[in-house]
Amino acid sequence: MSMSLESLIIVLLIGGIAGWLAGLIMKGRGFGILGNIVVGILGAFVGSWLLGLFGVVIGGGIIGAILNAMIGAIFLLFVISLIKRA
């Protein structure tokens, strides 16, 4: 199973937006543009898992995907900040 160029661009765009928003919300705990894209992409997986644990479903579409990834990215940035302090 391979990812098309269009799908890759969409994933990177959603990850970038989610990571950027999470960095803004977490007040300077972002990692720059590339780091935020990575955090946003990982956040999408973390968000799906985390929201699934609580039975929360965010609407579909691009806005739902961004919100899901942003929630996961915020959680991920929070955990990273806890690890950095220790």
Neighbours of 18 (CB within 10 A): 29
Alpha-carbon gap, residue 58 to 56, rounded angstroms? 7
- Determine if the pTM surpasses 0.95: no
Q: What are phi and psi of 58, to 5 degrees?
A: -95, 140
pLDDT, one tens digit for every residue, the chain (86 residues)? 577 889 888 888 888 899 889 988 887 666 777 888 888 889 988 998 998 899 988 888 889 999 999 999 999 988 988 888 87
Alpha-carbon gap, residue 48 to 43, rounded angstroms? 8
